[in-house]
Amino acid sequence: MAIRRTVSFQFFLLLSIFLLGTTVSATVFTLQNRCSYTIWPGTLSGNGGAVLGDGGFELQPGASRELPAPPGWSGRFWARTGCNFDASGNGKCTTGDCGSLKCTGGGVPPVTLVEFTLSSNNDKDFYDVSLVDGYNVGMGVRPSGGTGDCQYAGCVANLNDNCPPELQVINSGSVVACKSACAAFNTPEYCCTGSHSTPQTCSPTQYSEIFKKACPTAYSYAYDDASSTRTCTGSDYLITFCATGS
């Protein structure tokens, strides 16, 4: 009996050391609503990864919510506006709709996105704020506690106020979102498809330049990598909706 207790203790000790030695901290995303109205953040995980925040939830003005993500996670976040859900989570949103309270797919454009690819081995995370699918609300991403470049990314301007008429989405007499030129016109030069499917043949357009001028650190079209992709190592991230500055 004494021998069995000794073996059990040694096994427990070795197991504890192993678990302590292999613990990897999660990255924490904090989603904060600085809008004057309620939003319903949507989340979408890539490559079959962990679903964060059940895919979507309600966030009142001034409220925030923390979402831990495992190493190697990739996906996106966005804000839905003008939503109306029943007790079962069924309903629709004016912008960013995904079919129900808990999203199983991406938000319907036009919608402002923040995209992440986290490192699985304590190397660089990659992140960006994208207007490639259009714009509905301002967003900002601020790293915290990381090392490396770790720059702010975001679009804090209200593009709905300066959206060209041909790109406007209007609801109840107000501009609630601004389409991308690709969504509005669906041509290769605006969508970077067909004969315009490479960085050399797909250049900025007058519409993407409007987005870029208003939001210099956000993706304005498909090949806007150089000035829009950010990197950081070992960071947590604050994602602010209706952000007001960097």
Q: What is the DSSP string of 14-35?
A: HHHHHHHHT--PPEEEEEEE-S
Q: How far apart are CA 15 and CA 57, in angstroms?
A: 38
Q: What percent of the chain has pLDDT over 70?
A: 89
Q: Is residue 1 part of a domain?
A: no
Q: Is residue 40 part of a domain?
A: yes
126 Cα distance to chain centroid: 11
Q: What is the pLDDT of residues 196-229, one digit of tens each?
A: 999 999 999 999 999 999 999 999 988 887 778 9
Q: What is the pLDDT of residues 57-91, one digit of tens each?
A: 999 999 999 999 999 999 999 999 999 999 999 99
CATH number at residue 231: 2.60.110.10
N-to-C CA span, the chain: 65
> Which region, left, alpha or beta, applies to residue 228 given φ > 0 means left and ψ of -120 to 50 means alpha?
alpha
Q: Is residue 10 part of a domain?
A: no
Number of domains in the chain: 1
Q: Is residue 217 part of a domain?
A: yes
Contact between 112 and 42 under an 8 Å Cβ cutoff? The reply is no
Q: Is residue 60 part of a domain?
A: yes
Nearest 5°: phi and psi at 236? Answer: -95, 165
Domain that holds residue 131: 25-241
